[in-house]
Amino acid sequence: MTTNILDMETLALDEEERALVIIDQTKLPNRAEYLHLKTQGEIWMAIRELQVRGAPAIGDAAAIGIYLAALEIDTDDYAEFAHRFHTAADYLNSSRPTAVNLSWALNRMETVVKNAEGKSIPEIRALLRDEALRIKQEDIDICKKIGEHALTLVKPGMGLLTHCNAGQLATAKYGTATAVMYLGHQKGYNFKIYTDETRPLLQGARLTAYELSAAGMDVTLICDNMASTVMKNGWIDAVFVGCDRVAANGDVANKIGTSGVAILAKHYGIPFYVCAPTSTIDMNTPTGADIHIEQRPTAEVTDIWYKERMTADGVKVYNPAFDVTDHELITAIVTEEGVLTDFAHGLTHKQ
């Protein structure tokens, strides 16, 4: 790993050290520091504390993390190995509730173990390693495809708005919502990109503005409450966001504030695109109302960016990390399979 954000890997497996290596996203943009996570407790905490974050990156990290757990299960007995592996997967799965990519990746790893009965434990570990690295490589390939499909929706010189960070830092490469920006930039499209700062954790300010400007794009940071103004000014031709879970009816959970941006886009007649791998589609969740929305600590709103607490003692705080955008507000969902526009009667995707 190097210290240039664009050459850096969001996360990697260090085989020799038996570690999950991540760039600590809580330190960006001021410091590019790597963490070498070896224990399940460290990996759980890194996901929980958003040191590694963004739905696909959480899935990639969990896959590598659970492979590392498999290396520590010291038994030759398949049944005991499978039981302890399942317990470890359950533990990692409890780190964050909303992004379905976490359980999706862990399920893929568990399927490897289930299908490997009769093989030796070293053989199973090798299969798990291959699957974890495959999940990460697929993430890169899928994001690129999402970008290629999304490019059919834009023209050079357009103004694009994004919310939160669905960028390279939220995936293994390219990002989901930002893939169109990276691929367009390579073609000289000269987009004018606006990124919401994304209160309370500032993923837009700290991460999206950082990675897109490092890539040489024209990016302007705005406060969340300025989205209406830039739309009214006529500066936004399309909105691209990522997402954490797509329900079967096409409702989408993404970073808190996304639904407000979608409502504004509808008001101003601006297309609102959600970009996600098909692994983010959860056909077991019927509607957005069934999605578990993570509640985060109140200090994220009242304290973390300030020298002193920024509200009176005793004031109540509500801090949901995500909201649900109703499918009626979404122009299209862009996956690696193409541009989905016809989901008024629900999705038909099979996972």
Ligand X SMILES: CSC[C@@H](O)[C@@H](O)C(=O)COP(=O)(O)O
Is 204 annotated among the ligand-binding residues?
Answer: no
Q: Is 227 one of the annotated binding-site residues?
A: no
Cα 277 from Cα 301, distance rounded (Å): 30
Q: Is 54 annotated as a binding residue?
A: yes
Alpha helices in the chain (DSSP H): 40-48, 55-72, 78-93, 100-114, 121-151, 179-186, 203, 209-214, 227-232, 258-268, 299-302
Position among 53, 129, 206, 245 found at the interface with ligand X (CB under 6 A): 53
Restricting to residues 203-222, name those near ligand X by CB under 6 A: 203
Place of tokens 């837009």: 204
> From the CB of 322, what's the least distance to ligand X, in Å?
6
Check residue 176 for interaction with ligand X (CB under 6 A): yes
Minimum CB separation of residue 89 from ligand X in Å reads 20
Q: Which is nearer to ligand X, 159 or 175 (CB)?
A: 175
Name which of 257, 247, 331 is nearest 289 in CA terms.
247
Residue 93 within binding range of ligand X, rule CB under 6 A: no
244 is catalytic: yes
Cβ neighbours, 10 Å, residue 118:
8
**Smallest distance, Å, CB 261 to ligand X?**
11
Is the CB of residue 191 less than 8 Å from the CB of residue 218? yes
Place of tokens 């297309």: 271
Closer to ligand X at the Cβ: 124 or 276? 276
| Site string (101-140) toward ligand X, x via CB under 6 A | ----------------------------------------
CA atoms within 13 A on the CB side of 41: 0
Q: Point out the residues that are catalytic.
A: 244
Q: Which residues are annotated as a binding site for substrate?
A: 53-55, 96, 203, 254-255
